């Protein structure tokens, strides 16, 4: 083994304490964008099931309509709208970064924080609209 390979192996941490690792805003924005994409994948299934139920018969439409009176369905709908809003904003942010803008650390952090603020506003607006 070479000397450089020995140094690399010795410098590696034996135990990573994940509670002490602090991610930058850009990493959190990227991770949340992926999570919201997964949520949207499952949301498509829920929304298609609801659409199918409403189109089968008048009774199916009435049952789905009555589902929306309950807290659980309103919460699910609010979560879907919040995930959609964040995913849309995060996607626009990533597209702008793909054009060569906001690639520096300062502008990347600023764009991530703006995305968080706009997503919070969309979430509040969606909550007001759903309830």
State both tokens at 79: 């979560």
Return the SS3 of 21.
coil
User: From the CA atom positions of the chain, what is the Rg in Å?
Assistant: 22
Summarize pLDDT for 20-79 with one digit per residue, the tens.
888 889 999 999 999 999 999 999 999 999 999 999 999 999 999 999 999 999 999 999
Summarize pLDDT for 77-89 with one digit per residue, the tens.
999 999 999 999 9
First CA to last CA distance, the chain: 65
Residue 1: pLDDT band (50, 70, 90) is low
């Amino acid at each position: 083994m070479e000397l450089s390979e020995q140094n690399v192996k010795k410098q590696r941490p034996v135990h990573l304490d994940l509670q002490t690792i602090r991610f930058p805003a850009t990493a959190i924005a990227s991770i949340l964008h992926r999570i919201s994409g997964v949520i949207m994948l499952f949301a498509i299934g829920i929304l298609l099931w609801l659409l199918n139920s409403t189109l089968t018969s008048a009774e199916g439409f009435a049952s789905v309509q009555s589902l929306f009176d309950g807290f659980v369905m309103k919460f699910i709908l609010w979560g879907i709208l919040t995930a959609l809003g964040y995913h849309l904003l995060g996607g626009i942010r990533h597209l702008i970064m793909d054009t060569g803008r906001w690639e520096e650390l300062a502008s990347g952090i600023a764009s991530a924080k703006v995305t968080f603020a706009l997503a919070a506003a969309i979430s509040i607006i969606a909550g007001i609209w759903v309830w």
